Amino acid sequence: GHTYTTMVGILGRARRFDSINKLLEQMVKDGCQPNVVTYNRLIHCYGCANYLKEALNVFNEMQEVGCEPDRVTYCTLIDIHAKAGFIDVAMSMYKRMQVAGLSPDTFTYSVIINCLGKAGNLAAAHWLFCEMVEHGCVPNLVTYNIMIALQAKARNYEMALKLYHDMQNAGFQPDKVTYSIVMEALGHCGYLEEAESVFVEMQQKNWVPDEPVYGLLVDLWGKAGNVEKASEWYQAMLNAGLLPN
C-alpha cells in the first residue's frame, strides 16, 4: 500500500499519467485499496499539470468508493483551482469542506485571500481573513503581507499601514516583501521620502535589498519626474552588484 502510494507520487512528479493509471489498476488487482494519501497525490499531480477536470474526477471517484476526502484533499483542490484562476470552484470547495467539518490551514487561506484580492473582491478577502482568525487559524507573515498588499492596491493606505502595525504587534518582523509592499504604497501616495526611510530601516534590519526593491524605487522616482533620484537609485543598484531586468 505504502509502496504504491509512493510510486504514485514519483510518477506524478514525472507527469506519467498513463503509468499512474496502470499502477492504480495493478494496485487494485493486488487487493490494495488506494487510501486518502494516494488520491491526494493524484489530485495534486493532475492539478500541477493543469488537468483540473481530471482532478475533480478523482475527487468524485474517491467518494464513490467510500474514501472520505480529508483536510489535505480540500486544501489541494482549493490550491490548484485558485492558482488557475477558478475562484468560484475554489470557494465552493471551501464551503464543502466546512460542511464536512474541516477548515483550511494558513497556507490555503492565504491562497484564497490572495486570489480574491487579485480578482478585486476585497470585501470577500477581508471577510475570509476574519473568518480564519475565528476558526483559530493564525495568520502568519505572508498572510499579513498579502492583506497589506491588497489594501495598498485598493488605495486604502491607512488600512494598509494599520495592518502593518497589527502585524508587528502580533510579533512578526517585516521581511523584504513587507518592506517592498509598504514602500510601493507610500510611493503611490507621493510619500517618496517616507519610502526611502523604509528602505533605510530595511537595511538597518539587515535585509539585503534585491533587484525588485531597487527597481521599485527607480520606478517611483521616475514616475514622480525626478530623473536625478531615479538615476541615483539605478546607480545604487549597479553598485550593489545587481543587474536591471
Partner RNA sequence: CGCAUCAUGA
Rule CB under 7 A: say whether 103 interacts with RNA. Answer: no
Binding piece for RNA, criterion CB under 7 A, among 71-79, 129-137, 156-164, 222-230: 71-79
Alpha-carbon distance 195 to 183, whole Å?
Answer: 5
Residue 179 C-alpha cell reads as 518592506
Alpha-carbon distance 193 to 198, whole Å?
Answer: 9
With 0-12 CB in 10 A as exposed, 13-18 as middle and 19+ as buried, what is 18?
A: exposed
CB of 222 to RNA, least distance (A): 13
> Do the Cβ atoms of 23 and 8 come closer than 8 Å?
yes
Binding piece for RNA, criterion CB under 7 A, among 49-57, 128-136, 210-218, 222-230: 210-218
> Do the Cβ atoms of 147 and 141 come closer than 8 Å?
no
Alpha-carbon distance 122 to 115, whole Å?
Answer: 10
> Do the Cβ atoms of 64 and 32 come closer than 8 Å?
no
Rule CB under 7 A: say whether 44 interacts with RNA. Answer: yes
Q: Which residue, 5 or 56, has its beta carbon nearer to RNA?
A: 5
Q: What is the largest CA-CA distance in the chain?
A: 73
Cα–Cα nearest to 116, from 104, 130, 107, 126: 126
List 177, 189, 236, 242, residue binding RNA (CB under 7 A): 177
Rule CB under 7 A: say whether 212 interacts with RNA. Answer: yes
> Do the Cβ atoms of 93 and 68 come closer than 8 Å?
no
List 20, 23, 62, 72, residue binding RNA (CB under 7 A): 72
CB of 218 to RNA, least distance (A): 11
Binding piece for RNA, criterion CB under 7 A, among 21-29, 155-163, 186-194, 209-217: 209-217
Alpha-carbon distance 67 to 190, whole Å?
Answer: 56
Q: Which of residues 5-34 bind RNA (CB under 7 A)?
A: 5-6, 9
List 11, 213, 217, 220, residue binding RNA (CB under 7 A): 213
Rg (CA), the chain: 23
| 146 to 175: interface string for RNA, x by CB under 7 A | x--x-------------------------x
Rule CB under 7 A: say whether 142 interacts with RNA. Answer: yes
> Do the Cβ atoms of 96 and 74 come closer than 8 Å?
yes
List 62, 75, 125, 132, residue binding RNA (CB under 7 A): 75
Contacts with RNA by CB under 7 A lie at 2, 5-6, 9, 35-37, 40-41, 44, 48, 70-73, 75-76, 79, 105-108, 110-111, 114, 140-143, 145-146, 149, 175-178, 180-181, 184, 210, 212-213, 215-216
